[in-house]
Amino acid sequence: MLHFWHMATAGIGLLVLAYGITAVCFVGLLAAAYFSPILKKDFLYAALCLVISTTVFTVGVHDESVRCIAQNKAAVADALKGSDDARDAAVAEVKQQMAEEKLRAAAPVSGHNLPWVHAPARSVRHNGDKYNRDTK
């Protein structure tokens, strides 16, 4: 639960501070406009400017978060594509090695390990549980 809370609130402190200061300033300007005998319009214009600037700030924060999410998705997609390509290459290499081993295993062996010397061909016949070699 603590890990989720840390992930959910990461980087939010500055936003809370910015909006908190804005809210305090807005309430202060409205109170000053209410209690001021001569500068009511000025305090209301200042409050309006504060609301507009906070709105612009909020739109910028939203756009930045959308951009960060898009960059994160693109980075994950690139990383997954790279790992998929590496896995495909590894699988192809293993298949090629297995095919070469099958070819080596299927090659006839003539009783010795010298491939350039060929032994005379002999037929092998199964007779019960014994093997008999005929030299016909």
pLDDT of 15 reads 80
CA separation for the pair 92, 110 (Å, rounded) = 32
pLDDT of 129 reads 45
DSSP sequence for 27-58: HHHHHHHHH-SS-HHHHHHHHHHHHHHHHHHH
Angle at which helix 40-106 crosses helix 13-35, to 10 degrees, equals: 170
pLDDT in tens, 43-75: 999 999 999 999 998 898 888 888 888 888 888
Report the greatest alpha carbon distance in the chain: 129
CA separation for the pair 5, 12 (Å, rounded) = 11
pLDDT of 136 reads 47
pLDDT of 13 reads 79
DSSP sequence for 94-129: HHHHHHHHHHHHHS---SSS-TTS-PPP-EEEEETT
pLDDT of 45 reads 95
Q: What's the predicted TM-score (pTM) here? A: 0.49
Residues of the chain with pLDDT under 70: 1-4, 106-136
pLDDT of 74 reads 86
